[in-house]
Amino acid sequence: GNSVTQMEGPVTLSEEAFLTINCTYTATGYPSLFWYVQYPGEGLQLLLKATKADDKGSNKGFEATYRKETTSFHLEKGSVQVSDSAVYFCALPTGGGNKLTFGTGTQLKVEL
């Protein structure tokens, strides 16, 4: 079945640093790909998505490009803020699209 692999955390950065969180996937066909974010004490929120190869999803300064050649969907942000501290999950639909499979999550800590 479809699966994702994320880089392990925690990732600790200084404010305004460049962020990359790696995500690679294994899938049948070309499913949509998602990044979800979980702030402390809250549920998961959709951060961005891409629905087909070469699509770039973007939101709140975060970007991720759906690359079928490398089966990757890496999350990037040019300048992180303390408020970006959270756990980030890469995900894709499985089982005919009726459920999501998530990576193990990458915790990001941004310090002043």
Partner 1 sequence: GAGVSQSPRYKVAKRGQDVALRCDPISGHVSLFWYQQALGQGPEFLTYFQNEAQLDKSGLPSDRFFAERPEGSVSTLKIQRTQQEDSAVYLCASGDRNLLAKNIQYFGAGTRLSVL
The residues of the shown chain that bind partner 1, judged by CB under 8 A, are 31-32, 34, 36, 41-46, 49, 51, 89, 91, 93, 95, 97-105
CB 24 within 8 A of CB 71: yes
Taking the least distance from each CB to partner 1, the nearer of 10 and 78 is: 10
Letter for the amino acid at 94? T
Q: How far is the CB of 47 from partner 1 (least distance, A)?
A: 11
Beta-bridge mates of residue 90: 35
Taking the least distance from each CB to partner 1, the nearer of 7 and 100 is: 100
CB 62 within 8 A of CB 48: yes
Q: How far is the CB of 29 from partner 1 (least distance, A)?
A: 13
| Separation in Å, CA 33 to CA 40, 92, 98, 104 | 23, 5, 14, 15
Taking the least distance from each CB to partner 1, the nearer of 53 and 78 is: 53
Q: How far is the CB of 108 from partner 1 (least distance, A)?
A: 14
